[in-house]
Amino acid sequence: GFDAIWISPVVENIANGWHGYWAKNFQKINTNFGTLADLQDLVKECHKRGVLVMMDWVSNHVGIVDISQIDTFNSSEYYHPCDSCPSWCSISDYDNMAQVEMCRLSGLLDLNTEHPFVVSKLKSFVASIIKSTGVDALRLDTVPHVNLNYWEDFRSSVNTFMMGEVFDGRAERGAAFQNPLDSLLWYPMYYAIRNVFGSKADASQLDTVLKTSRASYLDTTVLGNFVDNHDNAR
């Protein structure tokens, strides 16, 4: 009965990046998953059955490796400088948006998404894989870790449905990104569902989140409901 699936990022990863989130080469397919032809066949077979395919995409970072080993983005100028962030470049305060955008998430090399070359290449890479595979939508990883101007530019260049991840239970934090994107994962509702059904919290939390969301988001009807994913246990 499913009419859509969400697949992992498919680009080539550094060693041990079997999951897809530690990019090394945005122009190659992760061999742990198969070949480009395999991906094309998957999309075709899904479409035959009336199933849409949403592909995960990461613009914020690449894997933890020497910069020289990253394809295309092989110079320090393509990354946010470490000296702008405390604690060996890592984010220490998730309410500090300068840190969230400029510093490293879990030590991952943070792409300088204000750099024209980086912006141009990322748009080119994602447009190419959409064209070559026929995927129907994108799930965008780590959205608030990338500046809003980038997503506005990305929106104008990538003509497909986009659902963003804002890993935060506050509706007002995520709502800021719905305008350049189409949809967002509904994290505020996820946390409310988890609290009510997993921890026996008062069910009024669900009503509160719904009211707050309606006041914050442009459109709650397109938000992505979920009860678990690769980051959050059911």
Instruction: Give the catalytic positions in this structure.
Output: 141, 165
**Amino acid at position 160, single letter:** T
The angle formed by the CA atoms of residues 58, 156 and 170, to the nearest 5 degrees, is 55
Q: Which residue has the tokens 């060996």?
A: 88
Cβ-count burial of 15 within 10 angstroms (0-12 exposed, 13-18 middle, 19+ buried)?
Answer: exposed
Q: Find the length of the chain.
A: 234
The token pair that represents 111 in the structure block: 């792409």
206 to 191, 192, 196, 217: CA distances (angstroms): 9, 6, 8, 16
